[in-house]
């Protein structure tokens, strides 16, 4: 890779590994911007993006090593975090949503408001 990018946030271990793997994978050969599209879908825990001719969807319950490109027939998957969340070219499944970490939720009230008499 001859392109240099800077992120305004830290990359997760799976994302850092995936940068290399999606670049050298013979079927993908993604650049940094294309890899970032996958990371954006993963970090949103929803949605999809199209890179080249492949539509990638946020997904949970993925297997494989962190950042590894897994190919099963014509379906590609990349697990980007320790909970098995990442991106896949498989059609999204309504019965298998990504596991959203508790830190992604916005509280609706503070504990003081709820428990204060």
pLDDT averaged per 10 residues, the chain (length 117): 62 90 96 94 90 94 94 95 93 61 52 48
Q: Across-strand partners of 59?
A: 86
Please report the pLDDT score of residue 38 as a whole number: 95
What pLDDT, on the 0 to 100 scale, is given for residue 91?
A: 83
For the beta sheet containing 86-88, the strands, ordered from the edge strand earlier in sequence to the opposite edge, are 48-51, 54-59, 86-88, 75-79, 69-72
Rg (CA), the chain: 16
Q: State the Cα–Cα distance between residues 86 and 78, nearest whole angstrom.
A: 6
pLDDT at 92: 73
Q: For residues 47 and 93, what is the distance between their CA atoms, to the nearest angstrom? A: 12
Give the E-state strand segments of 6-111 in sequence order: 48-51, 54-59, 69-72, 75-79, 86-88
pLDDT confidence of residue 97? 55
pTM of the predicted model over 0.85: no
SS3 75: strand
């Amino acid at each position: 890779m001859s392109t240099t990018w800077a992120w305004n946030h830290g990359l997760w271990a799976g994302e850092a590994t995936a940068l290399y793997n999606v670049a050298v994978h013979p079927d993908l050969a993604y650049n940094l911007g294309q890899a970032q599209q996958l990371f954006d879908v993963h970090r949103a825990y929803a949605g999809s993006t199209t890179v080249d001719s492949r539509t990638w969807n946020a997904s949970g319950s993925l297997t494989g090593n962190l950042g590894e490109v897994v190919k099963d027939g014509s379906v590609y998957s990349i697990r980007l975090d320790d909970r098995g969340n990442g991106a896949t070219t498989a059609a999204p499944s309504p019965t298998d949503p990504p596991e959203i970490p508790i830190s992604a939720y916005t509280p609706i009230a503070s504990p003081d408001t709820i428990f204060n008499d």
